[in-house]
Structure formats: C-alpha cells, structure tokens
Structure 1
Amino acid sequence: MAKAKGAIVVDTARCKGCGVCTTACPTKVIELAAEVNGKGYHYAYMANPDACIGCSNCGIVCPDTCITVYRAKAGATA
C-alpha cells in the first residue's frame, strides 16, 4: 500500500484553540500557536508538516469545522 502525504489548512480566524485536534493527531503534527487570533485564542497549526499522513482525524473531531484535510499518494505528481 502506498504511503499517503497529507496537509491541513486551519481557518485560524475561527479556531478557538480547544486542542482536541492536537490529541487526535496520531503523528503529532498539530500544535497550538504561541500567537493568538483576533478573538484571543491560540489557534492550531501544522508544527510538523512532513509527518502528516492525511488521516482526517483532526478535521473529524474539530467542533467548529475549522480544519480542511488534503491527501495525496506519496510521490504523486500533479
């Protein structure tokens, strides 16, 4: 089975920094930023993007649907 390469996009303006996605990520890709968004929350971001496998766990558990997950087979070209 081919390995998958993933990426996420977080809507930082809507993220409330609950941290549910950080615990749901099996490869520990997501962390909360030291900076805050316009609402004063520490938002989620990809701290280790090379480890993302595109499993979608973070997007599924996000209570505010702030995370979009993209996935492609490793080595695939556009």
Structure 2
Amino acid sequence: MPPKGRIEVNEDLCKGCELCVMNCPQEVIALNMERMTKRGYHPAELAKPGCTGCGICATMCPEAAITVYREVIQKPA
C-alpha cells in the first residue's frame, strides 16, 4: 500500500505558476480555475486522491506556499 499524504496551499503566497502541477509524480495537483486568490491568481490544490506526501511540490514551489503532510503508518507490535 503506497503512503498517503495531503497538501495545504497558502493562497496568500500561491501565484498559480503550475510548477507543483507539472512536477507532481502522482498527477493529483491542479489549479482551481473556478476560484481566484486575493492577488488574482488561480490557486493550486489537491484535485484528486492519490497524494503520497513525497514533497516534490513543496520543493518546486518558488514561493514556499505548499506544506506537505504524510500519514505515519504504525506497524503492529
């Protein structure tokens, strides 16, 4: 079973550059074309399930707008 993750995008920082979208190996990030931020950009978001929490999106983001959370899988004792 692949690890599970999620992202949070700080919309005050996101400029909709799509670097996270283009570099997501799971192809689960997209710009929300139905919304705009206060600064007039379409924000990135987790568009579908499948995030593994790899962190590539956060590494690629020039604005450091993405925080990645990865589920900790507990092994049975």
TM-score, L = length of structure 2: 0.87
Structure 2: unaligned runs, 5 residues or longer: none
Partner of 2:2: 3
Distance in 2 (alpha carbons) for counterparts of 1:23 and 1:46: 13
Q: Which moved more, 1:66-75 or 1:51-60?
A: 66-75
Alignment correspondent of 1:36: 36
CA positional deviation for 1:3: 2.5
Measured in 2, the distance between the counterparts of 1:75 and 1:47 equals 27
Aligned residues with identical type, % of pairs: 41
Aligned partners of 1:9 and 1:68 also within 8 Å: yes
Q: State the Cα RMSD in Å.
A: 1.7
* Structure 1 ranges of 4+ moved more than 3 A: 73-76
* Matched residues, number: 74
TM-score, scaled to structure 1: 0.86
Is the strand fraction higher in 1 or 2? 1
Alignment gaps of 5+ in structure 1: none
